[in-house]
Amino acid sequence: MPTTDAVLTDRLAVEIARLGIVGESSDVGTLHRVTALASRAVPGCAGATGVRWALPHGPDERPEPLASAASHPDLADAVERQLARGHGFLFDVVNARRAAGTDDVLAEARWPEAMADLLRGGVRCFSTTPHRMGPVLVTLTLFGVRPRALGEGQRGLAALLAAQGSAAMSNSLQYGDVHRTAVQLQEAVESRAVVDQAKGILMHALGCDADEAFVEMRRISQTRHVKLTALAQRIVGAQGLP
């Protein structure tokens, strides 16, 4: 079998699957894991970069990068220069939602500034693959040091890595949203409980009903500029009124 053929081994399959584990790492951490895996496991790939993008809301809005990672410093510099310019093959791929690349950087005329950056780093070919999962859009770029080093098999593995990486980030975002909601609900339940306890104490002390006790707590809260929950905690803790 030619050395440039991409093979999905059992070990590589396990490593790709692990990318989708929720909570395994942050966005940047996931991107670093994807780029490191691509540069190590994809034949013909000498390095890789990954970018997570904010989705444009309209045709006139420019894509905005939210996080990036690279397997090598030279590639990181080339990507950062392109992101700073605001145009290049990465932006074209995001806008079109379609893969792009070139078999020989020396013969590529579409992105002259970006090609000059890559040539300075010894890159002779590249392939960028986009993948969207929910609110997450990720681009993964493979780089080769020889012309035509990246074929269909390599691009297929890149698509798989990009898909799993974006799924991991999308899952993490959803997990984070659910976790924050659960925390807020818990805090709301605890706040309601302490307010109810404080009302009971005031009802006993003032000889009033629950509604009257709550009106009194709100009056004290507003006139003394103290949050209702903080006031309730002081009453329950027998600290007196502020």
Determine contact, residues 13/129, Cβ cutoff 8 Å.
no
The CATH number of 179-239 is which of 3.40.630.30, 1.10.20.10, 3.50.50.60, 1.10.10.10? Answer: 1.10.10.10
* pLDDT band per the 50, 70, 90 thresholds, residue 15: low
Q: Which CATH number fits domain 10-177: 3.10.290.10, 3.40.710.10, 3.30.450.40, 3.90.1150.10?
A: 3.30.450.40
DSSP one-letter code for 98: S
Q: Is the pLDDT of residue 161 over 60?
A: yes
Does pLDDT of 151 surpass 50? Answer: yes
What are the boundaries of each domain within the chain?
A: 10-177, 179-239
pLDDT tens for each residue of 66-94: 889 899 999 999 999 999 999 999 999 99
CA atoms within 13 A of residue 105's CA, in its CB half-sphere: 24
Read off the pTM. Answer: 0.62
Q: In the predicted model, what is the mean pLDDT of residues 41-48?
A: 85
Is residue 182 predicted with pLDDT exceeding 50?
Answer: no
- H helix or E strand, kind and range, residue 126: strand 125-133
Burial status of residue 96 (CB atoms within 10 A of its CB: 0-12, 13-18, 19 or more): exposed
- Whether the CB-CB separation of 236 and 202 falls below 8 Å is answered with no
Mean pLDDT of the chain: 78
How much is the pLDDT for 166? Answer: 63
The predicted structure's pLDDT at residue 105: 96
Residue range 189-235, pLDDT digits in tens: 667 778 888 888 888 888 888 888 888 888 888 888 888 888 888 88
209 — phi, psi (to 5°)? -90, 180
